[in-house]
Structure 1
Amino acid sequence: MINSKCTTRILILRSIAILISQTVVSAQSTTDMISTTGFVLDECAIDNITCEVNAVCTVTNGSITCDCIEGYQGNGTACSDTDECVNGTDVCNWKSTCKNLLGSYACECDIGYTGNGTLCEDIDECSKGLDNCDVNAICINNDGSFNCICETGYTGNGTSCDDLDECSTGSDSCDVNANCVNTVGSFICACKTGYSGNGVTCTDIEECSNGSDNCDANADCGNTDGSFTCVCKTGYTGNGTTCKGNLLFSLNPETAVGPIRECCNGEFRDRTTDT
Structure 2
Amino acid sequence: MLMNPHSVCVNIPGSYLCPCNEGFILNGTECQDVDECQSPDGTPCPEHSLCNNTAGSFFCQCSPGYKPIDRGCEDIDECKDNTTCRFDQVCTNLPGGYNCSCPLGHHEEKQACVDTNECESLPCHPVARCWNTPGSFSCHCPLGFAGNGSWCKDVDECVALTKPCHPLARCHNTPGSFVCVCKPGFVSIGPLCVDFDECQQANELCHSAATCSNHVGGFKCSCSHGWNATEENGHGKGGCVDFDDDVCVFACVPPLTVKPGILVMSHHCCENLVSQNWLSFIS
On whether the aligned pair clears a TM of 0.5, the verdict is yes
1:35 is matched with 68
Identify the match of residue 91 of structure 2 among 49, 53, 56: 56
Does the 8 A contact of 2:124 with 2:149 survive in 1?
A: yes
Describe how 1:1-275 pairs up with structure 2 within 5 A: 30-37=63-70, 39-52=74-87, 55-59=90-94, 64-74=98-108, 78-85=112-119, 88-129=120-161, 132-156=164-188, 159-171=191-203, 173-197=205-229, 198-200=233-235, 201-206=239-244
- Provide the C-alpha distance between the structure 2 equivalents of 1:111 and 1:223, rounded to a whole number of angstroms: 76
- Provide the C-alpha distance between the structure 2 equivalents of 1:75 and 1:57, rounded to a whole number of angstroms: 20
Q: Secondary structure at the match of 1:107?
A: strand
TM-score by length of 2: 0.55
- Provide the C-alpha distance between the structure 1 equivalents of 2:247 and 2:184, rounded to a whole number of angstroms: 42
Q: Secondary structure at the match of 2:158?
A: helix
Does the 8 A contact of 2:199 with 2:205 survive in 1?
A: no
Distance 1:55 1:157, change over 3 A: farther
Residues 29-88 of structure 1: per-residue CA shift (max 9 Å, x gap): 9212113246532333335413436523355875x5410122122379843332212xx1
Q: Secondary structure at the match of 2:123?
A: coil
TM-score by length of 1: 0.56
Distance 1:192 1:75, change over 3 A: closer
Distance 1:104 1:162, change over 3 A: same
- How many residue pairs were aligned? 187
Residues 194-249 of structure 1: per-residue CA shift (max 9 Å, x gap): 122222222222397699xxxxxxxx99799xxxxxxxxxxxxxxxxxxxxxxxxx
Distance 1:205 1:179, change over 3 A: same
- Provide the C-alpha distance between the structure 2 equivalents of 1:100 and 1:92, rounded to a whole number of angstroms: 11
Does the 8 A contact of 2:89 with 2:100 survive in 1?
A: no
Does the 8 A contact of 1:136 with 1:161 survive in 2?
A: yes
Q: Secondary structure at the match of 2:121?
A: coil
